[in-house]
Amino acid sequence: MKQFLQDRVAIVTGAGSGLGRAHALALARHGARVVVNDVAGSHEGSPARAVAGQIVRDGGQAIALDGDVTDPAAMQDMAASVIERWGRIDILVNNAGILRDKSFSKMSLEDFRLVMDVHLMGSVHCIKAVWETMRAQRYGRIVMTTSSSGLYGNFGQANYSAAKMALVGLMQTLALEGEKYGIRVNCLAPTAATGMTEGVLAPEALARLDPAAVSPALLALAAEDAPTRRILLAGAGSVEAAHITMTRGIFIGPREDAAQQIRARMAQIADREGELVPSTGFEQCQFELAKAGFQMALPGLA
């Protein structure tokens, strides 16, 4: 099979086990030089060292680097080490994550902040560490790990859902800002049997959710011909796409009974026929002004 990632340099966070491990192995099989990051460390016997060792034994190139994604200095140091060794960074897979599940009424603010720090700010720290390198080399592929919990909600996961949907917003804007530099940014929402899903799903369901079945979607988002601003969902051998859409809605105008009109016509407002996928957030403004009879161009990006 052709190695379509030959000599690309990829960083995978949280790659000592589960999805991260599967992603790291898959990237290496297709020719990438892989940085296996894990908070557990790169010392002898660590999960990250074991994954890197397996890649090397299989004929690939890999190193294990420790570092907590919640520590921005550690992520900067990791990126610097990768540049020193391989001279570039082509792919960043933001995979590291944790769960602290409870209903919102029982959830502590500390657990809310911790989950946000790992998933959202951890991804921000990693992207910040590689962004200028990718801009300078005019090439980059960044994959956020989002979740159907963020896209659609899940009972007992307010913290996780908030963090995962925030990553979608981060993707949307970074894809716009990175486009002229050859940086493509996407999201992957996996369904897989990992330490984070153990005890949540039935054993017979977990048996079908091999993390390796998600990695082909990751490879597509990391490839040279990757799309940008795409949200892929993957699990058990299936792949889907999610979209943030806007309905055609209605025009009411400045009238005294505007609120009553909205209440009465909610079904019409929510009608999805002909719905749109805006290319920027500003298109809402443009679309609404157009319905009001005013045309304006979209502003350029600085």
Active site residues: 160
Nearest to 178 by CA among 148, 112, 238, 134: 134
Burial of 58 (0-12, 13-18, 19+ CB in 10 A): exposed
The answer to whether 95 and 20 are in contact (CB under 8 A) is yes
Nearest to 22 by CA among 219, 164, 237: 219
Cα angle 288, 290, 292 (rounded to 5 degrees) comes to 75
What is the three-state SS of the chain?
CCCCCCCCEEEECCCCCHHHHHHHHHHHHCCCEEEEEECCCCCCCCHHHHHHHHHHHCCCEEEEEECCCCCHHHHHHHHHHHHHHHCCCCEEEECCCCCCCECHHHCCHHHHHHHHHHHHHHHHHHHHHHHHHHHHHCCEEEEEECCHHHHHCCCCEHHHHHHHHHHHHHHHHHHHHHHHHCEEEEEEEECCCCCCCCCCCCHHHHCCCCHHHCHHHHHHHHCCCCCCCCEEEEECCEEEEECCCECCCCCCCCCCCHHHHHHHCHHHHHCCCCCECCCCCHHHHHHHHHHCCCCCCCCCCC
